[in-house]
């Protein structure tokens, strides 16, 4: 196995490990919200109180699980796309532990109570510094690999990788310097909106699009329907995405004009989304039967369905009339999970199903894979997304009617119980994938 494939394996191992912590944290948060007595669970242990575990959960899910997974994908795809070896493989090899060190220091600091007040950039400055070094090293290795070939030949996934790494380095530094330590009050909040928005739009989204454009042709055995359209989608994303960040601060003290222009800029993103969606459906034409046997392709496809939903929901709830109801409610929490779990985590699952057997020579058990898929999809939509969305609407209308705050909690309770159950179901589903990855090969798997 060459160094880049060893890196892929290492970062997928790390991603899986972080997802276990992330899901356990999510489950403990969900459990504490089901009743007043459950809320007291662990509250006396200061490093496990709700506020700290919530920050730990988002940090570990976004930077531990998703980002390690994206690094694994980048180390796999970038050398293959340009037909070259990885640039500075020794640097990437050393960097694998620098990245984990940053995550361990960052998440331990959050639990120890040393968090900074910037959402999704909570770790203190010394953890940020290690993370920034790790990210810049990864950027050098990936960009260096892509630049080994002429850019005019670069496949669309390569463009997305380059965009993701370059923008995110700048964005991360901006968040952890200007937002965390320099910009005061509402100005800082406006920039903070830019950071969280772009962490999703210019890190998670391009990495996800790169995965889809890379895996889909390989899984269905034909090129994507329109390379030109994919590039139009890429450039419109690069141009439009950074401008709509203040939609995270509707009805807040950030300047009104900034909030108003965020509405059309957010709505325009629907075009970007549909370039990916059109290409997906046009490439899948005549190949739909493959999703019955290929679980990776099925995760990719269901991720696209969630992508359509979440990206249609986004411009819709960017309208002020809708914001009046849903702002600060669980509607947004459901939306965040639809994107980060229902889309991008499922696309990473697709990558694991595609790459792990190739790297390890293992054959996944069909039965375990089917169970993983259905527990994940049903557990998420029916126990998490739908109940939490309804809870969000109940909360919003209850606040608009001026009812006491406690009423909004009482009406949410029946919807928060299934959400806590979903935590168990999703964890069990993921455990089945882990058994496929690391457990003993079953006779059934050997025969397939
Ligand atoms: C076992 C599965 C999971 C459960 C039960 C769960 C549960 C939760 C809960 C209860 C919250 C706090 C909601 C609140 O403060 O009212 C939360 C927040 C969040 N979770 Fe999860 N989660 C899970 C998995 C994930 C995964 C896999 C990701 C990302 C890949 C993720 C990303 C987030 C984000 C971004 C937030 C913040 C949402 C916001 O502020 O709007 N979660 N989660």
- Residue ending a domain, choose from 103, 123, 154: 154
| Sequence-ordered list of residues with C-beta below 8 angstroms from that of 401, at least 6 positions apart, any chain | none
DSSP 172-194: HHHIIIIIIII--HHHHHHHHHH
Question: Total structural domains in the chain?
Answer: 2
pLDDT at 443: 54
Q: Is 364 domain-assigned?
A: yes
| Pocket perturbation via mutation, ligand 1, pick of 23, 29, 192, 377 by most ligand atoms within 8 A of CB | 29
Task: Please say whether the beta carbons of 219 and 297 come within 8 A.
Answer: yes
Q: Give the range among 168-172, 193-197, 204-208 with minimum mean pLDDT.
A: 193-197
Q: Is 168 domain-assigned?
A: no
Which residue do the tokens 């009406």 mark?
A: 411
- Compute the distance between CA of residue 325 and CA of residue 398 in angstroms, rounded to an integer: 9
Model-wide pTM > 0.85: yes
Q: Which of 410, 270, 422, 433 is nearest to 333 (CA)?
A: 422
> pLDDT tens-digit profile of 146-166?
999 877 789 999 999 999 999
Tell how far the Cα of 23 is from the centroid of ligand 1, in angstroms: 8
Joined tokens for residue 155:
């496949």
Q: Is 441 domain-assigned?
A: yes
> pLDDT tens-digit profile of 67-118?
999 999 999 999 999 999 999 999 999 999 999 999 999 999 999 999 998 9
**Which of ligand 1's atoms lies nearest the C-alpha of 120?**
35
Joined tokens for residue 93:
């090899």
Q: Is 187 domain-assigned?
A: no
Task: Please say whether the beta carbons of 73 and 207 come within 8 A.
Answer: yes
- Residue ending a domain, choose from 105, 129, 154: 154
Q: In CATH, what number is assigned to the domain containing residue 146?
A: 1.20.120
| E strands, 252-382, in order | none
Q: How many residues does the chain have?
A: 448
The mean per-residue pLDDT over the stretch 255-260 comes to: 84
Distance separating the N- and C-terminal Cα atoms of the chain: 24
Joined tokens for residue 237:
């994303």
pLDDT, the chain, mean: 93
What is the chain's Cα-based Rg? 21
Q: Which of 330, 376, 331 is nearest to 349 (CA)?
A: 376
Q: Do 150 and 294 fall within a single domain?
A: no
Tell how far the Cα of 62 is from the centroid of ligand 1, in angstroms: 10
- Residue ending a domain, choose from 108, 123, 154: 154
Q: Which of 174, 304, 168 is nearest to 238 (CA)?
A: 168
Domain hosting 25: range is: 1-154
Task: Please say whether the beta carbons of 111 and 390 come within 8 A.
Answer: no
Beta-carbon count within 10 A of 136 CB:
15
> pLDDT tens-digit profile of 118-132?
999 999 999 999 999
Q: Is 186 domain-assigned?
A: no
Joined tokens for residue 172:
């991360």
pLDDT at 87: 97
Residue ranges around ligand 1 (CB below 6 Å): 22-23, 26-27, 29-30, 54, 57-58, 61, 65-66, 332-333, 336-337, 340-341, 345, 422-423, 426-427
Instruction: Kindly list the distances between the CA atom of residue 194 and the CA atoms of 237, 267, 343, 416, in Å, as whole numbers in the listed order.
Output: 15, 16, 21, 30
Beta-carbon count within 10 A of 60 CB:
25
- Burial class of residue 293 (count of CB atoms within 10 Å of its CB; 0-12, 13-18, 19+): exposed
């Amino acid at each position: 196995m060459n160094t880049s494939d060893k890196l892929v394996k290492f970062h997928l191992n790390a991603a899986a490990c972080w997802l276990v912590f992330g899901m356990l944290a999510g489950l403990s948060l969900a459990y504490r919200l089901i009743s007043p007595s459950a809320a007291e669970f662990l509250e006396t242990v200061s490093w496990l109180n709700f506020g700290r575990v919530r920050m730990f959960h988002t940090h570990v899910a976004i930077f531990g699980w998703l980002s390690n997974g994206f690094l694994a994908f980048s180390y796999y795809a970038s050398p293959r796309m340009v037909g070259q070896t990885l640039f500075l493989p020794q640097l990437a090899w050393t960097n694998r532990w620098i990245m984990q060190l940053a995550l361990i220091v960052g998440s331990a600091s959050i639990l120890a109570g040393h968090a900074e007040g910037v959402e999704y950039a909570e770790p203190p400055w010394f953890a940020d510094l290690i993370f920034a070094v790790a990210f810049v090293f990864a950027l050098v290795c990936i960009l260096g690999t892509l630049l080994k070939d002429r850019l005019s030949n670069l496949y669309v996934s390569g463009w997305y990788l380059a965009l993701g790494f370059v923008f995110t380095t700048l964005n991360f530094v901006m968040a952890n310097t200007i937002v965390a330590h320099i910009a005061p009050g509402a100005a800082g909040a406006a920039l903070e909106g830019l950071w969280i928005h772009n962490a999703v739009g210019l890190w998670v989204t391009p990495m996800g699009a790169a995965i889809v454009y890379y895996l889909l042709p390989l899984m269905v055995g034909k090129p994507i329907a329109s390379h030109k359209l994919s590039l139009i989608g890429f450039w419109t994303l690069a141009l439009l995405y950074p401008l709509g960040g203040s939609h995270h601060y509707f009805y807040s003290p950030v300047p009104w004009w900034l909030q108003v222009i965020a509405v059309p800029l957010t709505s325009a993103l629907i075009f970007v989304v549909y370039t990916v969606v059109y290409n997906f459906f046009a490439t899948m034409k005549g190949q739909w039967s493959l999703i019955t046997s290929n679980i990776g392709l099925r995760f990719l496809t269901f991720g696209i369905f969630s992508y359509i939903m979440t990206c249609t929901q986004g411009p819709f709830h960017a309208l002020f009339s809708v914001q009046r109801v849903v702002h600060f409610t669980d509607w947004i929490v459901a939306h965040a999970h639809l994107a980060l779990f229902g889309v991008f985590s499922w696309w990473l699952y697709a990558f694991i199903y595609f790459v792990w057997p190739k790297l390890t020579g293992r054959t996944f058990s069909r039965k375990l894979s089917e169970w993983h898929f259905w527990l994940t999809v049903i557990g998420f939509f029916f126990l998490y997304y739908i109940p939490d969305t309804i809870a969000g609407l109940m909360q919003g209308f209850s606040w608009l009617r001026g009812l006491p705050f406690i009423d909004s909690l009482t009406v949410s309770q029946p919807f928060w119980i299934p959400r806590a159950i979903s935590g168990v179901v999703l964890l069990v589903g993921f455990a089945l994938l882990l058994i496929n990855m690391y457990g003993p090969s079953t006779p059934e798997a050997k025969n397939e």
